[in-house]
Amino acid sequence: MSHFDFQLEATDPDTKARAGSWKTPHGTVETPAFMPVGTLATVKGLTPDQLKQVGVQKVLANTYHLALRPGAEIVAELGGLHRFMNWDGPILTDSGGFQVFSLATLRKLDEQQVVFRSHIDGSLFELSPEKAMRIQEQLGADCIMCLDECPPHDVPVEKLQAAVDLTTRWAARCRDSHQREDQALFGIVQGATDPAMRERSAQGLLPLDFPGYAVGGLSVGEEPRLMYDTLDFTVPFLPEDRPRYLMGVGRPEDLLEAVCRGIDLFDCVMPTRNGRNALAFTSQGKVRLRNQKHKRDDSPLDPECSCPVCTQFSVAYLRHLFMAKEMLGPILVSWHNIAFYQHLLRQLRQAIREGKADEFRLRQLARWNASS
């Protein structure tokens, strides 16, 4: 019996949006869904109970960072990632492939592996497809990712094709070395914004028959319109009966656009990173809490939000916390932002079931645009 089961429950008649459920060993995820990023086995500033309280279903952690500290062997010895971070819901681990892009100045790449110079202490860290699988098996996440090469969006086409083909070869090595049946291994479609390269990548990965597919290499500097166009010509290559994951994309408007193009899963640091820097996402647009105009604002951050932050604290108080450099400010606004993202996706799931996804998208985009 499979540990995983993805069921489509509704499709929107006017878009490619779909609502479904994905059964994993640690619970079922209703899709489309947003995963907060817990790179080092923690969503910064928030406890697992706080995440659950606002409806988080699944979180993400990172192979590269956890392998450096505390070490995958230590996590395994202490009962695996779920027990280590006290999160009993589903977890996804990235493979370290994004660090091939983000830490390009600290690594060397060849056919066999990527060798990083640790950003912590300068020591060398070797990561091959096989080692990425071993580490993720030790961590014990429900969903794990193939090691891939994520190139910049503006590289010459010959370098882009080389990255696509290396990603395909590495995906085969990941599949062949992965052993745990209670983990779903996703292939990652690369190709930047080039239609031919996206097709080449997808066609190379589909025969490997992964239980899910991700779209990588977006939100790395290209214009939003290019991202949407890339999804338009990439998503149709992906199997309809498998979850589709758009990696590292997290502006609220991008979530709406991507869901309407057939994406099921998202992750991004944006809600927590912005929360730590006094920017809140709300149903009526962004709120920059350091702005002087909020000094006497006794209203809730978002009048349409029922999260613990909006029901207990005023905008003026939240601004005060940041101006006084109190650590509670970043915690509370991160908590609200995560709650906002979860509520947005719940509303979108309901709109899909009612056949009104495009209507919801247009209405919400109009509200945000009016406030900007």
Instruction: Find the distance separating the first CA and the last CA of the chain, reported in whole Å.
Output: 50
User: CA triplet 140, 107, 75: central angle to 5 degrees?
Assistant: 20
| 94 carries an active-site annotation | yes
Q: Is 262 left (phi over 0), alpha (psi -120 to 50) or beta?
A: left
Amino acid making up residue 197: M
Q: Which residues are 36's β-sheet partners? A: 268
Q: Which residues contact 327 (CB under 8 A, 6 or more apart)?
A: none
255: phi then psi, degrees, rounded to nearest 5: -60, -45
Alpha carbon distance 26, 142 (integer Å):
7
Q: Out of 12, 194, 264, 267, which one is annotated catalytic?
A: 267
| 358 carries an active-site annotation | no
SS (H, E, C) 278-314: CEEEECCEEEECCCHHHCCCCCCCCCCCCCHHHHHCC
Strand order in the sheet with 124-127: 107-109, 114-117, 124-127
Q: Out of 94, 142, 148, 302, which one is annotated catalytic?
A: 94
C-beta neighbour count of 334 within 10 angstroms: 25
Residues with active-site annotation: 94, 267
